[in-house]
Amino acid sequence: DAGITQSPRHKVTETGTPVTLRCHQTENHRYMYWYRQDPGHGLRLIHYSYGVKDTDKGEVSDGYSVSRSKTEDFLLTLESATSSQTSVYFCAISAGWGRDQETQYFGPGTRLLVL
């Protein structure tokens, strides 16, 4: 998985509780992404980061926040989890943009169940 780890790999939580997912990379890549994957929707971008402390929203950012204080770590926080956020969350990294730089490599995923 291209030097990408995600933690936890599985989590069950209750509605209304905060949840933080962590993505850690050892590739020193500039860009990091958080996606969620749901049946019938494929992968949808939640937030991404283009450098330390530089982040931007994706397609489905409502209810999520992110932080990146170090190149290697990208955190995704659900401030108050809802059942609609039950999903599989994937982190991805890329070196940059432009040919041969923009390929995204994915982590193993985190399965989140919100009861």
Partner 1 sequence: QKEVEQDPGPLSVPEGAIVSLNCTYSNSAFQYFMWYRQYSRKGPELLMYTYSSGNKEDGRFTAQVDKSSKYISLFIRDSQPSDSATYLCAMKEEYGNKLVFGAGTILRVKS
* Residue ranges in contact with partner 1 by CB under 8 A: 1, 4, 31, 40-45, 48, 50, 58, 90, 94, 96-97, 99, 102-109
Range 23-51 burial, b when 16+ CB lie within 10 A, else e: bbbeeebbbbbbbbeeeeeebebbbbbee
Q: Which is nearer to partner 1, 45 or 113 (CB)?
A: 45
CB of residue 27 to partner 1, shortest distance in Å: 14
- Strand (E) or helix (H) holding 8: none
Q: Which is nearer to partner 1, 17 or 26 (CB)?
A: 26
CA–CA distance, 55 with 47 (Å, rounded to integer):
7
CB of residue 106 to partner 1, shortest distance in Å: 4
CA–CA distance, 96 with 79 (Å, rounded to integer):
29
Q: Which is nearer to partner 1, 8 or 108 (CB)?
A: 108
